Amino acid sequence: MGNALVSEARIVEEVQKALAKSLRRKEDPASIRLDASVMEDLGGTSLDFLDLTFRLEQAFGIRLAHTTILDHVEETFGEGKAIDGSGALTKDAVEVLKDRMGSPDGLSVGMYSDEVPRLVTPNTLARGVREILAALPPACTHCKAAQWTSPDGAKVKCGACGKDAAYPDGDSLAKAWLEKVAKEKGLFAG
């Protein structure tokens, strides 16, 4: 569930629609499997991947994380904590990615970060959107009214002043999530 105005079904629908458009898929968007690999099963390239994340930002009026969770690890806990000297993922980085991506098959210590995008699924994308939508502020940051509305069921606007909801950006939420998970699991301490 994203928030009271944007349903889980709508999040999934927009992810499937964005995938269908970006990847120029001919089938009914609703038939795109949520556990399919965007790159390996759906034939997405890195360019398609960028295109579809921009589409999701526009559809929901949000800003997804523009920094990888691995970069957040290194910025928060220090260089070498996510990626070792040879460029491979550390044990704790794999733990974080498992939590973040819903334990996809294929994640392992020692793999390179350029192997991670092939593990991304529509479910992974929906998770990023959901995290931001769930952080809808209680009231409009412009006029302070608590009158959210969503005429299209995806973009939330203030019913009083008409301005788009100002969600926290994906990077600040990802960073807060990372700090919480690292503390709970005792990661990156050494």
Residues that bind other proteins (CB under 8 A): 21-22, 45-51, 53-55, 57-58, 63-69, 71, 74, 79-80, 83, 85, 87, 101, 112-117, 119-120, 124-125, 128, 170, 174
Minimum distance between the CB of residue 143 and other proteins, rounded to whole angstroms? Answer: 27
Q: Nearer Cβ to other proteins, position 114 or 184?
A: 114
- What span, in angstroms and rounded, lies between the C-alpha atoms of 138 and 46? 36
61, 56, 42: which is closest to 125 by C-alpha? 56
CB 51 → other proteins: shortest distance, Å? 5
The least CB distance from residue 133 to other proteins, in Å, is 14
Among residues 45 and 149, whose Cβ is nearest to other proteins?
Answer: 45
| Burial (CB count <10 Å: 0-12, 13-18, 19+), residue 152 | exposed
What whole-number distance in Å separates Cα of residue 29 and Cα of residue 14?
A: 9
Comparing CB distances to other proteins, the nearer of 19 and 83 is: 83
Distance, in Å, from the CA atom of 59 to the CA atom of 155, rounded to the nearest integer, reads 7
CB 102 within 8 A of CB 18: no
Given the complex with other proteins, which of 38 and 140 has the nearer CB atom?
38
